Amino acid sequence: MSSPVLPVVVLDDATQAVPLGEALLAGGIDSVEITLRTAAGLEGIRRARAVPGLRVGAGSVLTPAHVDQVVEAGAEFIVCPGLSTAVVSRAREHGVDILPGVATASEVMAAVALGLDEVKLFPAGLLGGPAYIEALSAPFPGMRFVPSGGVSAATLADYLAVPSVRTASGSWMVARDLLARADWARITELSAQALDL
């Protein structure tokens, strides 16, 4: 990931993808993870790809078939809650970046064995937050971690202060209630505030 903040979006209405992407860009965030947690996710990825300058990824990717679907929809990167060799392999077949999830040192070792140098740490807050990442980073000096799950405006700076963390993902700036109200101005404001942190 290149941006310090990666919004994790759960779309209930695919038509919101374009104004959402524009609102994020207006706040300075140029990447978004649209999850497959709802029926609108796949179409949301397709629509968001129409926003110039926005890098669109797919989240909650669980199977090789999901990889095929999101790549066809235009996803530029893939995020998974866990580590699946089959999913990593399929993403590589498509030439798409993948960010699999890990929670333990054993899973990080499996990621290293697959040649990965960046993983999602999930659920970061429940696992121990920044202190856990600091401890986990020690035996894996070449690994970068993207904390997800429990990251908020209040904790973002603490996560980004960890040397092995360049990006943190969260959903507070794209919360479902903001999407339901189509409050694009507030999403832009929260995005800009996140980058200021």
Annotation marks residue 134 as catalytic:
no
CA 100, CA 118: separation in Å to the nearest integer? 8
Q: Is the peptide bond before 64 cis (omega within 30 degrees of 0)?
A: no
Say which residue the tokens 């904790």 belong to.
155
C-alpha count within 13 angstroms, C-beta hemisphere, residue 25: 15
* pLDDT tens-digit series, residues 125-170: 999 999 999 999 999 999 999 999 999 999 999 999 999 999 999 9
Q: Structure tokens of 150? A: 């429990």
CA 24, CA 43: separation in Å to the nearest integer? 18
Say which residue the tokens 């999407």 belong to.
179
Structural domains of the chain in order of their starting residue, each with its CATH number: 5-196 (3.20.20.70)
- First-residue to last-residue Cα distance in the chain: 17
Catalytic residue among 43, 120, 134, 189: 120
CA 166, CA 118: separation in Å to the nearest integer? 10
Q: Which H or E run contains 34?
A: strand 31-35
* pLDDT tens-digit series, residues 83-138: 999 999 999 999 999 999 999 999 999 999 999 999 999 999 999 999 999 999 99
Catalytic residue among 22, 33, 43, 189: 33
Predicted TM-score (pTM) of the model is: 0.95
CA 149, CA 129: separation in Å to the nearest integer? 9
Annotation marks residue 33 as catalytic:
yes
